[in-house]
Structure 1
Amino acid sequence: MSGRKDAKVGNFVFCYTPETRELHFTPPNGTEIIIDNLVFPYGQEQIDHAIETQMSCKNKKKYGNPIAWSVEDHGDYYIFKCIVDVPGNPHKNDSRADGLLGLDLNVDHIAWSNINTTGQLIKSGVFSFDLEGKTSEQITKMIENKAVVIVDLAMKLNKPIALEKLNTTQSKVSQPYGNRKANKAMSHFAYNKMISAIKNRAEKMGVAVFDVNSAYTSQIGKIKYMKRMGISIHQAASYVIARRAMGFKETLPPVLHSLLPEKIAGLQHWAQWKWISSCLSDVRKHAFYRKELFAYDKIDSMNQLFPQGALSDFEAKGLLKVKSRKHIA
């Protein structure tokens, strides 16, 4: 229900009293409903301040602020949401002078990487959780708790946070790495909740959050950094996210560039990573821990990236079909 800035409490239908924590509203049937002891687990102070400020505003038509409400029916329970305008934190830390904390959001954990100003990895880790079989309320609490831990880490490091611009499409929900059963059960709700919880907590604590293009972060991390840094694919993705937020460009290593067809070699690095990622998409993740990416400057085929025995027959045959620069007339 949209608010009205000229209403006494910012809304003509919903009336919330901060002192008593009572919500009064009248649905279309005309029967007044009173909700006792309505307390918000997050943002209670902001809601109280917004309503009290609106009530004390003398010229509401000019200086008032609307306060919107929504009620979601979940069968056994209802979720009440109050939407207010919150001013930005004037003391927000958005300085990248010391580096960044990059995050990669996943179905059962959040991977993080702490990098310095030159893009070097200082430390990487994982915050794990189990959302399988949990209710939306339990998921919310669990994710919000992790958001507190993550923002606390950023504050301790005195660094802002970098996140992917996730569009929560099937490609992210159906992440091919990790627990397939949990991935299938993961909903858009959980990913949106992760992003909003981290951003809300960061805003409250004065930590800036930068959104970066999510293109090929996992693939670049897997191919370029996973073995080299001795970290997981998701930690490697968080490392790429942090570097991208710092403005670093992920160029292909010379050995991969030597395999590009002529028509791809002259394109921007996004197109090059797209071609490489497509060629290596059927190779199992664990095979990349045995690849020899930095042992040579040039090779003749994709198969030479991996030592003998690292690839299955299916993978080896698939890579033999790739037409690299060698095959272009």
Structure 2
Amino acid sequence: MKRKKQEIANYKKHPKQICFGSSKLFKAQYTKEEYINNHQKWRENYLHQRNKQMIIQGRRQGKYGNNLFKYELDSNTMIYRGINETIYLPIQFYYQKELLEEKVKLIHNTPGKAICYVLELSRDYFIIKAILELPEKETTTTKAEGVVGIDINVDHIALTVTNEHGNIIGTKKINYRLKRKTSNQRLWILREVSKEVINICKQHQKTLIIENLNFTYKKQQMKYNKKRVNEVLSNFAYTKIIETIESRAYKEDVAVERVNPAYTSKIGKEKYQQSKGLSTHLAASYVIARRGMSFSD
């Protein structure tokens, strides 16, 4: 009770705060000379950063896949019908334009018809991005002659290649460093890592097996870790690396399957680490690969 009362007192004294527009830019008004002497300039930049993006959710009901924005194919015009006025925006999509037009032409209430639009303000102009549900593709990889299993960690990916009998034919450790990197630098690093993983799958013509991780549970565990460990975990984009790997796999026609991650590290450590001469994480990736091939350990 004493500890809980102390926590409540601390929250009242130092309430939790959220900063929209990046905390780094918010603090810059007190640390950068250009903003210390010119608060109006800081305010303009801060409000721009805070309000520069808007997401309009799509719906498969309706003719255009979105209730607010309607993309006219014949005139290449985006139409926004507001309460007081209608706005016409001339627009030209380049990447995956054919797929976007195909989605717009789908019949009302067809699964996959919903189109989400993202608006980004870049000072002098708007950038409009369309987010679509991609159709399923035939893959060029199989599990008949083995798979590639990966174990994702804070600073590296442990990778194991197996044959048709579930035995190891190759291992690899792919290192990366995300700490003290900007968001763009992290994204570039993760893309390079995903490219290397998918290239190995293509080289061996094998399906990629990954863990179906529960990130909510993993983040809940952070409260019991040391501060140094939490700093590393919070900087590690668990979800982002899986997204980049699956995105790359889709482009390269590589099949990806998720398996239950329960006890993979423990089984790998007790059953395969010493007998196979593997590290803890490589042993875990081996268990993940075998689980993807429906072998029981």
TM-score by length of 1: 0.58
In structure 2, distance between residues paired with 1:187 and 1:35: 41
Judge conservation of contact 1:99–1:114 (CA < 8 Å) in 2: yes
Instruction: For structure 2, list consecutive stretches of 5 or more residues without a partner in the other structure.
Output: 1-55
Q: Which residue of 1 aligns with 2:99?
A: 50
In structure 1, distance between residues paired with 2:258 and 2:152: 13
Question: What is the CA distance between 1:106 and its match in structure 2?
Answer: 0.8
Judge conservation of contact 2:179–2:235 (CA < 8 Å) in 1: no
SS at match of 2:177: coil
SS at match of 1:144: helix
**Cα distance change, pair 225–16 in 1 and its aligned pair in 2 (3 A):** farther
TM-score by length of 2: 0.64
Identify which of 88, 91, 104 aligns with 2:136: 88
Judge conservation of contact 1:168–1:188 (CA < 8 Å) in 2: no
**Cα distance change, pair 180–229 in 1 and its aligned pair in 2 (3 A):** farther
The answer to whether residue 260 in structure 2 is matched with residue 213 in structure 1 is yes
In structure 1, distance between residues paired with 2:99 and 2:294: 38
Amino acid at match of 1:51: L
Instruction: For structure 1, list consecutive stretches of 5 or more residues without a partner in the other structure.
Output: 251-329
**Cα distance change, pair 62–233 in 1 and its aligned pair in 2 (3 A):** closer
In structure 2, distance between residues paired with 1:6 and 1:244: 40
Number of corresponding residues = 234
In structure 1, distance between residues paired with 2:232 and 2:107: 47
Aligned ranges for residues 148-227 of structure 1 at < 5 Å?
148-171=195-218, 181=228, 184-187=231-234, 190-227=237-274
SS at match of 1:86: coil
SS at match of 1:97: strand
Q: Which residue of 1 aligns with 2:52?
A: none
In structure 2, distance between residues paired with 1:35 and 1:242: 50
Amino acid at match of 2:189: M
Identify which of 110, 124, 127 aligns with 2:174: 127
The answer to whether residue 68 in structure 2 is matched with residue 13 in structure 1 is yes
Amino acid at match of 2:295: F
SS at match of 1:141: helix
Question: What is the CA distance between 1:86 and its match in structure 2?
Answer: 1.2
Judge conservation of contact 2:61–2:108 (CA < 8 Å) in 1: yes
In structure 2, distance between residues paired with 1:221 and 1:80: 47
Judge conservation of contact 2:63–2:108 (CA < 8 Å) in 1: no
Question: What is the CA distance between 1:14 and its match in structure 2?
Answer: 3.9
Question: What is the CA distance between 1:235 and its match in structure 2?
Answer: 0.9
Judge conservation of contact 2:141–2:205 (CA < 8 Å) in 1: no
Q: Which residue of 2 aligns with 1:69?
A: 117
SS at match of 1:113: strand
Judge conservation of contact 1:107–1:182 (CA < 8 Å) in 2: no
Task: Out of 186-195 and 202-211, give the one that drifted further.
Answer: 186-195
Which structure: greater strand fraction? 2
Question: What is the CA distance between 1:54 and its match in structure 2?
Answer: 4.2
Task: Out of 94-103 and 80-89, give the one that drifted further.
Answer: 80-89
Amino acid at match of 2:116: A
In structure 1, distance between residues paired with 2:236 and 2:129: 15
Amino acid at match of 2:58: G
Question: What is the CA distance between 1:222 and its match in structure 2?
Answer: 1.7
**Cα distance change, pair 234–204 in 1 and its aligned pair in 2 (3 A):** same
Amino acid at match of 2:175: S
Question: What is the CA distance between 1:138 and its match in structure 2?
Answer: 2.4
The answer to whether residue 50 in structure 2 is matched with residue 3 in structure 1 is no
Question: What is the CA distance between 1:107 and its match in structure 2?
Answer: 0.8
In structure 1, distance between residues paired with 2:248 and 2:176: 18
Q: Which residue of 2 aligns with 1:147?
A: 194
In structure 1, distance between residues paired with 2:271 and 2:219: 20
Identify which of 215, 222, 244 aligns with 2:291: 244
In structure 2, distance between residues paired with 1:187 and 1:72: 26
Amino acid at match of 1:227: Q
Identify which of 153, 156, 159 aligns with 1:109: 156
**Cα distance change, pair 83–36 in 1 and its aligned pair in 2 (3 A):** closer
In structure 2, distance between residues paired with 1:173 and 1:106: 17
